[in-house]
Structure 1
Amino acid sequence: MLLRLRVSLPDRPGGLGQVAKALGALGADILQVVVLERECGRAVDDFTVSWPGPITPCEARERLSSMPGVRVEGVWQTKEMPGSAPDYDLLTHVAAEPARGFATLVDALPGLCGAEWSVAVADGAVRHASLAAPAEFEPPDRPPRAMTVDARELRLMVLPVVTQGLHVVVARAGGPVFHRAEVERAARIVDVVATLAARHASVRAGD
């Protein structure tokens, strides 16, 4: 089982190594570590691990929470394979077929963001939806900037696309609130897709 663990730990020499050692002792094979922030003497890291056996995210959290000085901020299943480059793959597909740019973006964002589903909304209506998106969904108002929203059991990331008059919503059910580093990465990807789509529309208008 592939799990992502978000861990806050003291930002001092050897701290990351202690967490890695503890994960290894619990039987986890660490595939990737991403540093999300280092502030005020603490670091927040995302570990992607392969965990053998039928362990649940709750069980993984309980085992790690006993480590001194460590806070487990979230444990959830992920489908993103470390070492791949899904953001580059997405932009390659959009560049090849920019007319379907936002449909391709919405399909790819859940995998890019460790989320369950995403939609693109315009004028209060869903224009594009990923495979796992619910049939009924009340989209939030379009924000003036990228932001996160807690909506019942969902963690939402809302990304406005001003040039297209729409916004993209990414939903995570089992993990923590989207970190600002995740929001910034997703917002940059959305900006590139919007630019490619706008250029395509401009070229077609000039034909």
Structure 2
Amino acid sequence: MMVRLRVSFPDRPGALGQVARVLGTLGADILQVTVLERQTGRAVDDFTVSWPGTADADTVRERLSVVPGIRVEAVWPTREIPGAAPDYDLLKHVASDPGRAFATLVDALPDLVSAEWAVLMSSVTGELVHRSWQAPRSLDETGGLAGVKAADLTPLRPSALGAGRHRLMSLPVPEASLHLILARTEGPPFHRVEMDRAIRVLEIVSIIGR
């Protein structure tokens, strides 16, 4: 299975190699490394790896913790295919059928940022306009979003937030009274790099879909 690991380690020569060696001893095949940040002497990277059998997050943390300064922030499943260009595929489908621009975006965007589901909702009424097949039929269903008000999910600016067991990304749709909400129940909160990627795609889709 494919999993994603978010790892924080000292930003110094050889540290990345130490992480790679430990993953190799666990039988993991590193498929992709995404640099998220480099600041204050530390680095945070996402590793997409092919794992034999079922990934054991506790084992990963235990084995990597023997390397001084390394922290495993999260381990979670991912559907993103390393080396693919899902952004371009999404935009191609949107351009071929602009009338379904936002529906296509909601269906495809979760795989771009390792989210589990997405919904498009009205910023005014809080009603769902479109939902990916994995999403709850309403945001009041049990599953961590019960009792959350539309105002909490529709801030004026893009934001990453939590609601119950969910990690959420909330993005206002340019020039529309709509908000795109992405969620995952496994893994860490959305990183600003993931948000930037989703925002750029949303902006282009908004232009095409007008």
- What TM-score do the two structures reach when normalised by structure 2? 0.90
Q: 1:143 aligns with which of 155, 160, 164?
A: 155
Asked if 1:158 is matched to 2:170, the reply is yes
Q: 1:188 aligns with which of 200, 203, 206?
A: 200
Residue in structure 2 matched with residue 55 of structure 1 by the alignment:
55
Q: How many residues align?
A: 198
Residue in structure 1 matched with residue 45 of structure 2 by the alignment:
45
Residue in structure 1 matched with residue 98 of structure 2 by the alignment:
98
Unmatched runs of 5 consecutive residues or more in structure 2: 141-149
Unmatched runs of 5 consecutive residues or more in structure 1: 199-207
Once the 2 structures are TM-superposed, how far is the Cα of residue 142 of structure 1 from its aligned partner?
1.6
Letter in 2 for 1:160: P
Cα distance between partner residues in 2 of 1:112 and 1:161: 17
1:58/1:131 Cα in 2 relative to 1: closer, same or farther (>3 Å)? farther
Specify the SS of the correspondent of 2:136.
coil
Once the 2 structures are TM-superposed, how far is the Cα of residue 109 of structure 1 from its aligned partner?
1.3
Cα distance between partner residues in 2 of 1:171 and 1:61: 24
Identity between Structure 1 and Structure 2 (%): 57
Cα distance between partner residues in 1 of 2:175 and 2:43: 36
Cα distance between partner residues in 1 of 2:110 and 2:65: 27
1:141/1:174 Cα in 2 relative to 1: closer, same or farther (>3 Å)? closer
Specify the SS of the correspondent of 1:164.
coil
- Check conservation: 1:3, 1:57, Cα contact below 8 A: no
Cα distance between partner residues in 2 of 1:31 and 1:141: 34
Once the 2 structures are TM-superposed, how far is the Cα of residue 192 of structure 1 from its aligned partner?
0.6
Residue in structure 2 matched with residue 201 of structure 1 by the alignment:
none
Specify the SS of the correspondent of 2:175.
helix
- Check conservation: 2:128, 2:138, Cα contact below 8 A: no
Deviations 1:3-48 (A, max 9, x none): 0000011001111111011110111000000001100111100000
Q: How does 1:1-207 map to 2 (within 5 A)?
A: 1-122=1-122, 123-138=125-140, 139=150, 140-198=152-210
Larger helix fraction of residues: 1
Residue in structure 2 matched with residue 204 of structure 1 by the alignment:
none
Cα distance between partner residues in 1 of 2:57 and 2:117: 19
Letter in 2 for 1:133: A
Cα distance between partner residues in 1 of 2:159 and 2:50: 30
- What TM-score do the two structures reach when normalised by structure 1? 0.92
Deviations 1:169-199 (A, max 9, x none): 000110000000101110111111111111x
> C-alpha root-mean-square deviation of aligned residues, in Å?
1.2
Cα distance between partner residues in 1 of 2:139 and 2:164: 13
| Greater alpha carbon shift after TM alignment, 120-129 vs 51-60 | 51-60
Specify the SS of the correspondent of 1:16.
helix
Deviations 1:90-144 (A, max 9, x none): 0111011111000000001111110110000013101010010012314544211
